[in-house]
Amino acid sequence: MLAEIDKRHIWHPFTQMRAWCDPAHEPLVLVGGSGAVVWDAAGREFIDGNSSIWTNIHGHCHPAISAAIAAQLGKVHHVSFLGTTNEPAIRLAERLVKACAGSPLTRVFYSDDGSTAVEVALKMALQSWQLRGHPERTRFAAFDNAYHGDTAGAASLGGLGAFFDRFAPVHFRPVRVPSPADLEAMPAAEAGRIAAVVIEPLVQGAAGIRLWPPGTLRALREWCDRTGALLIFDEVLTGFGRTGTLFACEREGVWPDFLCLAKGLTGGSLPLAATLTTEEIFSAFLGEFEELKTFFYGHSYCGNPLGCSAALASLGLFESENTLGNLQPKIGLLADELGALASSPRVKDIRQCGFIAGIELQAAPGRDLDWRAQTGARVCAEARNHGLLTRPILDTVALIPPLCIEPAQIRKAVAAIAAAIATVLPGR
Ligand SMILES: *Cc1c(COP(=O)(O)O)cnc(C)c1O
């Protein structure tokens, strides 16, 4: 019944709707969740192996996050951030800056999702150069296979051809670089026109869980310091403990000029994003009204008090539940469990960065799968029969569980993938 209405009226993201609407397809209608588990109306339970598209941190319906949202619901749902302010947004900004202690990041600009967090950084970077007397710095450097969101500005940076190439006529063109090492070869004249470099720290998620070599962020920071370009870290996926530290960039002791946060910011409860920047960037925008230095940018729901309350509760849980401390042995367990899959002739590669893992499948050693056969999707569909909900990126099965997942659930999740691979790609 519900599924039929869905098929009649809804257009799902990143979804081939002909296959979705096929009478044989039974959409999974989720009705509840607790901890790392979600369930449907029939009571079928699934481990949320994809953290509900990389957003969930402390588990579903965590009572502390529910209580924080409920308390704010009784006060006010939303008030404008243009011309007025509110307590949850103020407290969250202070808390986020504290989370970046030791960094030059002191200013918080709120928006709604990962794409807008990146848009904000792009426009701030561009305008800051105009205001600081370098209008020639108009180009953005972005990496092969990058993913920074789907709005036109963020998508312009994207390096995944299948998603973005068709929109090229309306995108701006970044300076596309294969890897940070290639920036070294950039002629000084060209480097002098770069407004900012943008990177997903440690791991490119949407590219299929691709890991950067250690030292990448440090090298990038040095190149930016040398050439004057600003540095944008898109931690929309990697933020909030996903890689083992609160922010991925802590692992290399490097801070950007812009830090983009979204997905896990509210623990996976409400849409909210933040772009953090430095006092140096901020102060370039200060002036008399008629100087028109103002950052003329914003969204209706900037600084939404419900989202900010949820985010404060989520950050509080990192302390009260020792989330990062408890996570470390679970990262090791995940590595051990995945290690047992590595010997399968159907597994080409296993890539893991903290609680972000990808299992790349192959037809046989030395022989890749034909992506058109959607083997990754079929493995994930089969994994549901073993109680695991997750998504592939082509033929890489992603396993990105909530940080609260329990050891037994980690074992069950990896076992479900192993069983699904054995069913979809039989014969060893
Ligand atoms: C998901 C993602 C985005 C886009 O975030 P949305 O909330 O989907 O707009 C941007 N950058 C990275 C690295 C992401 O993983």
Residues 31-46 have pLDDT tens digits of 999 999 999 999 999 9
Q: Which residues contact 219 (CB under 8 A, 6 or more apart)?
A: 180, 181
pLDDT at 150 over 60: yes
Q: Write the DSSP string, 368-419.
A: PPPGGG-HHHHHHHHHHTTTEE--EETTEEEE---TT--HHHHHHHHHHHHH
In the reported structure, the alpha carbon of residue 271 is separated from the centroid of ligand 1 by a whole-number distance in angstroms of: 12
Report all structural domains of the chain as residue ranges with CATH numbers, in order of start.
2-58+322-424 (3.90.1150.10), 65-320 (3.40.640.10)
pLDDT bracket for residue 181 (50, 70, 90): confident
In the reported structure, the alpha carbon of residue 184 is separated from the centroid of ligand 1 by a whole-number distance in angstroms of: 28
Give bridge partners of residue 230 from the DSSP assignment: 196
354 lines ligand 1 (CB under 6 A): no
Q: Are 333 and 407 in contact (CB under 8 A)?
A: yes
Mutate to test the pocket of ligand 1, among 52, 240, 259, 263 (most ligand atoms within 8 A of CB): 263
Which stretch of DSSP H or E encloses residue 338?
Answer: helix 323-341
236 lines ligand 1 (CB under 6 A): yes
Q: Are 391 and 378 in contact (CB under 8 A)?
A: no
37-40, strands of its sheet edge to edge: 30-34, 37-40, 45-48, 388-389
> What pLDDT does 395 receive?
97
pLDDT bracket for residue 226 (50, 70, 90): very high
pLDDT at 21 over 70: yes
- Per-residue pLDDT tens for 300-312? 999 999 999 999 9
Mean of the pLDDT values across residues 135-140? 98
From atom 15 of ligand 1, which residue's Cα is the shortest distance away? 237
Nearest atom in ligand 1 to the alpha carbon of residue 271 is 7
Q: Are 338 and 350 in contact (CB under 8 A)?
A: yes
Nearest-angstrom CA–CA distance, 402 and 49: 7
239 lines ligand 1 (CB under 6 A): no
How many residues does the structure list for the chain?
428
Nearest atom in ligand 1 to the alpha carbon of residue 112 is 7
pLDDT at 428 over 80: no
Structure tokens at 290: 């008629």
Distances (CA, A) of 61 to 58, 66, 129, 304, 324: 9, 6, 43, 19, 20
Q: Are 141 and 197 in contact (CB under 8 A)?
A: yes
Mean of the pLDDT values across residues 342-355? 97
Q: Is 33 helix (H, G, I), strand (E, B) or coil?
A: strand
Nearest atom in ligand 1 to the alpha carbon of residue 151 is 9
159 lines ligand 1 (CB under 6 A): no
> What pLDDT does 427 receive?
74
In the reported structure, the alpha carbon of residue 61 is separated from the centroid of ligand 1 by a whole-number distance in angstroms of: 22
pLDDT at 20 over 70: yes
pLDDT at 281 over 60: yes
350 lines ligand 1 (CB under 6 A): no
Mean of the pLDDT values across residues 360-376? 96
Q: Are 367 and 427 in contact (CB under 8 A)?
A: no
Nearest-angstrom CA–CA distance, 126 and 172: 13
Nearest-angstrom CA–CA distance, 208 and 197: 21
In the reported structure, the alpha carbon of residue 105 is separated from the centroid of ligand 1 by a whole-number distance in angstroms of: 21
> What pLDDT does 211 receive?
98
113 lines ligand 1 (CB under 6 A): yes
131 lines ligand 1 (CB under 6 A): no
Nearest-angstrom CA–CA distance, 425 and 73: 49
The mean of the pLDDT values for the chain is 97
Mean of the pLDDT values across residues 243-251? 98
In the reported structure, the alpha carbon of residue 53 is separated from the centroid of ligand 1 by a whole-number distance in angstroms of: 10
255 lines ligand 1 (CB under 6 A): no
Q: Is 138 helix (H, G, I), strand (E, B) or coil?
A: coil
In the reported structure, the alpha carbon of residue 147 is separated from the centroid of ligand 1 by a whole-number distance in angstroms of: 7
Residue in 191, 243, 192, 240 with CA at minimum distance from that of residue 217: 243
Nearest-angstrom CA–CA distance, 33 and 46: 9
State percent of the chain over pLDDT 70.
100
CA 311 to chain centre: 16
331 lines ligand 1 (CB under 6 A): no
In the reported structure, the alpha carbon of residue 138 is separated from the centroid of ligand 1 by a whole-number distance in angstroms of: 23
From atom 8 of ligand 1, which residue's Cα is the shortest distance away? 114
Q: Is 112 helix (H, G, I), strand (E, B) or coil?
A: coil
In the reported structure, the alpha carbon of residue 148 is separated from the centroid of ligand 1 by a whole-number distance in angstroms of: 6
> What pLDDT does 352 receive?
98
> What pLDDT does 179 receive?
87
